[in-house]
């Protein structure tokens, strides 16, 4: 059962709280009995926050003020430890809409990376849905598990991570036509399309999130070439913030201009040929070695994380998860004590 953290109500032990101090400096803490936030500006006991409404202002030992708010999921994913690059909230929102991730859905995801998109999808499928995330690298799966534990307080029972390559592992986990939705965020999604076509229910949606136009072209042509899907649709999402202050109303000077492209297509029923499929002039759909070279991680600008760095990220993520579990335990004990006293 995916029980997402309480999004409102007075702060309690076990809650994560984002504190914004002077000059906008952020500190994210998990409230623990006896816990304290130490900065060069003084000490703030966690107990000072317990019982206050979300959105309160608290002062530390030297009267420095902090605005206290529960982090939104978008705040959490942007600040959590990362093994691999994450899907940004702007793209996650579009993925949920375009892949039609619905409550109760059975969703396949690959790869899990740092688990950012997994958290959004777990929220969208709700407690009656099922998310199965495939990941080639165990260390990335560890980061994702730890991040989910930190945010949710525990690993949700309706989420499973399978270690392995999706194209090889998917048939063992999903029979033909048993997945409602498949979301691919990986370097070479076209390699997985045959296995995805087998696992998807007729009418089910496959969504690919890719970083470069060359990947987009290759996966679109591959999907088209199978004849098993509707015509692929592609898009990218740009969000431009605005500065709105009195008469100074203008777009922000800076924005995240490019993250990735989304491509969606729907699985046709076996043997179905849509009426508007026309035979087109032959395009360049065959790729040689030189084309493949263009999609290596280095060539597409994917920063390769060193093993040492990755081990550090895993440790950071696990430390945060341990803190969240400890705090959830403290809170359970406090609740039990309160119930016994009442
Ligand atoms: C960019 S990351 C995914 C990020 C993730 N969506 C998030 O929001 O945190 C891509 C991941 O896909 C994994 N991967 C690549 N090809 C795969 C495959 N064929 N099967 C399973 N995992 C794969 C990589 O190891 C990497 O962790």
Where are the extended beta strands (E) located within the chain?
16-20, 26-30, 36-39, 42-45, 56-59, 65-69, 106-110, 130-135, 159-163, 179-185, 200-210, 233-236, 242-245, 248-251, 261-266
Index of the ligand 1 atom closest to the CA of residue 92: 8
| Model confidence, pTM | 0.86
Confidence of residue 140 (pLDDT cuts 50, 70, 90): very high
Question: Best mutation site among 73, 101, 111, 145 for ligand 1, i.e. most ligand atoms within 8 A of its Cβ?
Answer: 111
For 159, other C-beta atoms within 10 Å of its C-beta total 25
Mean pLDDT of 205-215: 98
Index of the ligand 1 atom closest to the CA of residue 144: 9
Q: Which residue has the higher pLDDT, 297 or 340?
A: 340
User: What angle in degrees, to the nearest 10, is found between the helix axes of 307-341 and 138-152?
Assistant: 30
- Where does ligand 1 bind, in terms of residues with CB under 6 Å? 84-87, 110-111, 113-117, 134-137, 140, 165-166, 185-187, 192
Task: Average the pLDDT over each of 10-14, 127-131, 184-188, 230-234 and give the range with the smallest value.
Answer: 10-14
Confidence of residue 1 (pLDDT cuts 50, 70, 90): very low
Distance 185 CA to ligand 1 centre (A): 6
Distance 224 CA to ligand 1 centre (A): 23
**Residue 163, strand partner residues:** 135
Confidence of residue 274 (pLDDT cuts 50, 70, 90): confident
Confidence of residue 287 (pLDDT cuts 50, 70, 90): low
Q: Which residue has the higher pLDDT, 331 or 306?
A: 306
Distance 162 CA to ligand 1 centre (A): 12
> Residue 145: its pLDDT value, please?
98
Q: Which residue has the higher pLDDT, 58 or 278?
A: 58
Question: Best mutation site among 110, 190, 296 for ligand 1, i.e. most ligand atoms within 8 A of its Cβ?
Answer: 110
Cα(126)–Cα(271) distance, integer angstroms: 33
> Residue 295: its pLDDT value, please?
67
> Residue 2: its pLDDT value, please?
45
Print burial letters for 283-313: b (CB count within 10 Å at least 16), e (below 16). Answer: eeeebeeeeeeebeeeeeeeeebeeeebeeb
Task: Name the burial class of residue 181, with classes exposed (0-12), middle (13-18) and buried (19+) by CB atoms within 10 angstroms of its CB.
Answer: buried
Query: Which structural domains are found in the chain, ordered by start?
Result: 1-71 (3.10.330.20), 75-271 (3.40.50.150)
Per-residue pLDDT reduced to its tens digit, 5-39: 667 899 999 899 999 999 999 999 999 999 999 99
> Residue 331: its pLDDT value, please?
78
Mean pLDDT of 321-336: 84
- Closest residue to atom 5 of ligand 1, CA basis: 113
> Residue 7: its pLDDT value, please?
72
Question: What percent of the chain is modeled with pLDDT above 70?
Answer: 91
Mean pLDDT, the chain, whole residue set? 92
Confidence of residue 283 (pLDDT cuts 50, 70, 90): low
> Residue 34: its pLDDT value, please?
96
Distance 117 CA to ligand 1 centre (A): 11
Is-contact 49 55, C-beta < 8 A? Answer: no
């Amino acid at each position: 059962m995916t029980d997402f953290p309480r999004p409102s109500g007075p702060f309690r032990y076990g809650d994560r709280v984002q504190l914004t101090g002077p000059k906008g400096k952020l500190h994210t803490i998990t409230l623990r009995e006896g816990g304290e936030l130490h900065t060069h500006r003084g000490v703030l006991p966690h107990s000072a926050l317990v019982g206050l409404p979300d959105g309160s202002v608290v002062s530390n030992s030297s009267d420095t003020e902090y605005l206290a708010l529960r982090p939104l999921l978008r705040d959490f994913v942007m600040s959590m430890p990362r093994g691999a690059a994450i899907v940004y909230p702007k793209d996650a929102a579009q993925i949920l809409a375009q892949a039609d991730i619905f409550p109760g859905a059975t969703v396949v995801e690959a790869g899990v990376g740092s688990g950012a998109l997994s958290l959004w999808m777990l929220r969208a499928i709700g407690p009656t849905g099922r998310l199965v995330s495939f990941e080639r690298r165990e260390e990335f799966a560890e980061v994702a598990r730890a991040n989910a534990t930190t945010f949710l307080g525990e690993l949700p029972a309706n989420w499973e991570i399978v270690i392995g390559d999706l194209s090889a592992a998917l048939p063992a986990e999903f029979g033909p036509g048993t997945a409602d939705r498949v979301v691919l965020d990986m370097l070479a999604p076209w390699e997985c399309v045959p296995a995805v076509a087998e696992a998807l229910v007729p009418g089910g949606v496959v969504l690919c999130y890719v970083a470069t136009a060359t990947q987009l072209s290759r996966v679109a042509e591959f999907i088209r070439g199978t004849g098993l899907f509707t015509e692929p649709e592609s898009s990218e999402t740009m969000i431009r913030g605005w500065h709105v202050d009195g008469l100074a109303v203008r777009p922000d000077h800076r924005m995240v201009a490019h993250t990735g492209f989304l491509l969606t297509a729907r699985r046709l029923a076996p043997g179905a040929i849509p009426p508007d499929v026309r035979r087109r002039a032959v395009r360049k759909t065959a790729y040689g070695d030189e084309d493949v070279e263009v999609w290596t991680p280095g060539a597409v600008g994917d920063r390769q994380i060193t093993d040492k760095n990755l081990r550090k990220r895993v440790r950071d993520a696990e430390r945060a998860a341990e803190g969240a579990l400890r705090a959830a335990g403290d809170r359970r004990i406090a609740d039990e004590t309160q119930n016994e006293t009442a």
